Amino acid sequence: MPTRNTAWPAGTPCWIDYGAGDVPAAQAFYADVFGWDWTGADPEYGGYLNALLGGEPVAGFGPSTDADPNGWTTYFATDDPAATVAAIREAGGTVVVEPMQIGPLGSMTIALDPQGNGFGLWQSGEHTGVRRYGEPGSLAWNEAAVEDTEKARAFYTAVFGYRWEPIDDEMDYTTFATSGDPLGGLGGLGTGGPKGWSVCFAVSSTDDAVGRVESGGGTVTMAPMDSPYGRFAVVQDPWGAAFSVMEVAAG
């Protein structure tokens, strides 16, 4: 059971959340797919919820007032939001929501890279981000599909100091890391996933998870297929938000 209850290192995808036009319906859908419980919804935090797996937070949910209200956001850990925001602007990105303190929980920021792909920053306080990961029902991977991979790599290197490693000479797909193991991936469009940053959840059975997505009103955009990393699929929830699922061993 991979867990972490301390702040994630800077540059690590550390949290994900979902902006929902219909929060109760989205809760019901994702609880059925991943077996989540819920806590939060305090008025002082705008009704924001934490999805729980085994009592630990694995994702956030909240109401969205955007024109396109449904979708997943990836947040990267930062030790210094002001410095990271300055690096984003210097590298050609845009800050949509300036660093904002969320009570004792931490500080959040929303930004766009130069190609218009959204992401967030999280400086942890009492809320350190994802506390269970890499097991069924939790976050397994974060990746971006972009129009210009070279420019995207330059931007994220300038902001987070990433190093990149190609996984295949024939694919324009690289993993990124600050040290040690890969933290996520970045590739070109046309790989089957959505444009921009997307999230992949670990599941015990990809085929069963896809079945629950479809029975809950979602759709399949890439049917389950085997890969060197596990059996995976790309799906959309009933409101058009894309995510992927990857089969991992339950133990």
Residue 20, CA distances (Å) to 44, 139, 194, 242 in order: 18, 19, 18, 13
- Averaged pLDDT, 106-115: 96
For the chain, the helix, strand and coil percentages under 3-state DSSP, each to the nearest 5: 20, 40, 40
Ranges of H-type helices in 81-148: 81-90
Which amino acid, 224?
P
- Take residue 28 and report the two structure tokens written for it: 């019901």
Confidence of residue 227 (pLDDT cuts 50, 70, 90): confident
pLDDT digits (tens, 9 = 90+) for 89-105: 999 999 999 999 999 99
Residue 203 CA to its chain's centroid (Å)? 15
Task: State residue 21's pLDDT score.
Answer: 85
- Averaged pLDDT, 191-203: 88
- Averaged pLDDT, 26-36: 96
Task: State residue 192's pLDDT score.
Answer: 64
In 78-138, DSSP assigns E strands to 94-102, 106-112, 118-124
Q: Is the pLDDT of residue 69 over 60?
A: no
Pairing of strands 196-203, 163-166: unpaired
Measure the CA–CA gap between 145 and 139, rounded to whole angstroms: 18
Q: Is the pLDDT of residue 136 over 70?
A: yes
Task: State residue 235's pLDDT score.
Answer: 96
Nearest-Å Rg of the Cα atoms of the chain is 17
Reported pTM: 0.94
Residues 6 or more apart from 97 whose CB is under 8 A from it? 108, 109, 110, 111
Measure the CA–CA gap between 118 and 108, rounded to whole angstroms: 13
For residue 133, give the DSSP letter. Answer: B
CA trace torsion 7, 8, 10, 13 (10° rounding): -140
Average per-residue pLDDT for the chain: 92
- Averaged pLDDT, 230-247: 95
Q: Is the pLDDT of residue 67 over 50?
A: no
- Averaged pLDDT, 26-54: 89
Measure the CA–CA gap between 62 and 161, rounded to whole angstroms: 30
- b/e for 42-80, b at 16 or more Cβ within 10 A? eeeeeebbbbbbeebbbbbbbebeeeebbbbbbbbbbee
Confidence of residue 180 (pLDDT cuts 50, 70, 90): confident
Task: State residue 9's pLDDT score.
Answer: 96
- Averaged pLDDT, 224-232: 89
- Averaged pLDDT, 104-116: 96
In the chain, % of residues over pLDDT 90? 80
